[in-house]
Chains A and B, each alone.
Chain A
């Protein structure tokens, strides 16, 4: 799955957007996974993670965190999002100390993630580089819409819903923060960065009066 890798479109605030995933490998280190997962989640919360989830249950913007932790099972997948490099560094340091043994992945701007690893004293093992979007890019929505939709890598958040949300914010029907949390609840993994989304929605709504790039140009979708 590459659902946290290809965050594209409008790049604003992308340096405030780091996804983490903690994975068990079937038959290798998946024994006692719920306990290990809870240790990782405690570290994430201590480091300041404000959205995380288990895809089998949902995210903390939709459910009680204690309920998600209590429901963790062998096939659960835990993931979340940080909004600063310093949070990532703290998280990595905590996990290095705990030595839980699960694989840990951090997605984000390459330079930022590598710098965080260096600062935390962890040595990257493998890197999945995004080579961008190929094919009929003229089918894509605007970079503004892509910036929001690609924060849920499974595309549970539709382009048309984002367009409608931007318009609702512009018309004052909903505040950016509330709109962002509403969208975030549709991403069960908990990797939707609702804080970045709120800032983007506010900016896009403010710009909506100005001429927009033509839909389908896919500009910036690299």
Chain B
């Protein structure tokens, strides 16, 4: 977690900068305090919040400490995926990777966002629910989550990391289109059992997009039609077919 050095005078300017509310001031000691159970090592406070340079990175001794930092700080790059921060490539390079093909859908469940944060215990809960419904998780080479998935066949995470708190992490996977309704239904059922929020992105090939079939599924599940989207405009080369 972030540490506070002796330059701190307890002014409190840093407090509102923390995305997860991990900073406070001990008025008696006139010093900022970092709640280690909440700090995600995103380093926003270090970069922006203190003109006196009183906040600095703490040690990251274990794999999971480094993992937490990499997932929470977008200026870092995950060596396994080659993608900065918690990111995955999902639809963004699908015109050249062809990862999500016609007849399939991709799902990006952005756990903890917007701005609430997430314990890996809740990620484990959602991951197991959607995998049981038919979603195949992306491997560690594509998705950082894969590095803490113990069993891809069940979506179960390593049990020793479940208390870790991250700014966010994406559960990413894909499946044949006939599994879309069961997967979204599983998501509907598990959403009341998590102690955070999550944002859901549905990846489809453009020519299979908001089809009548998709609208029927959304209608049955009571999910409003999407009004925002991220469109891969097909300018990547070489263009993936299929």
Contact = CB atoms under 8 A, between A and B. Distances in A.
B200 A131 contact: yes
Contacts of B233: 92, 104-106, 117, 122-125
Interface stretch (A22-30, A171-179, A193-201): A22-30
B198 A127 contact: no
A38 to B, nearest CB: 16
Given A2-B108, A107-B231, A55 B84 contact: yes
A80 to B, nearest CB: 14
Interface in A151-185: 153-161, 163-164, 185
Given A3-B87, A104-B235, A127 B196 contact: no
A5 B229 contact: yes
Interface stretch (A44-52, A64-72, A94-102, A204-212): A94-102
Interface size range of chain A in the complex: 35 or more
Nearest to B16: A160
Contact of B201 (A5, A7, A139, A186): A5
Given A124-B233, A128-B108, A150-B114, A135 B201 contact: no
Contacts of B228: 5-7, 107-110, 129-130
Contact of A105 (B91, B194, B201): B91
B201 A130 contact: yes
A134 B44 contact: no
Interface size range of chain B in the complex: 35 or more
B197 A133 contact: yes
A102 B235 contact: yes
A28 B97 contact: yes
Contacts of B202: 128-129, 131
A103 B232 contact: yes
Contact of A155 (B19, B21, B194): B19
B229 A113 contact: yes
A188 interface: yes
B232 A189 contact: no
Given A1-B87, A96-B235, A132-B199, A103 B96 contact: yes
B82 A26 contact: yes
Contact of A55 (B75, B170, B197): B75
A99 B233 CA distance: 13
A3 B110 CA distance: 9
Contacts of B93: 23-25, 28, 103
Interface of B: 15-19, 21, 42, 44, 47-48, 74-75, 77, 82-97, 100, 106, 108, 110, 113-116, 167-168, 170, 184, 187-188, 191, 194-206, 209-210, 223-224, 226-239
13 contacts: A5-B228, A55-B75, A113-B231, A125-B239, A126-B94, A127-B205, A127-B232, A128-B231, A134-B188, A159-B19, A160-B15, A160-B16, A221-B114
Closest 4 pairs between A and B when the two form their complex, measured CB to CB: A1-B87, A125-B234, A103-B236, A101-B237
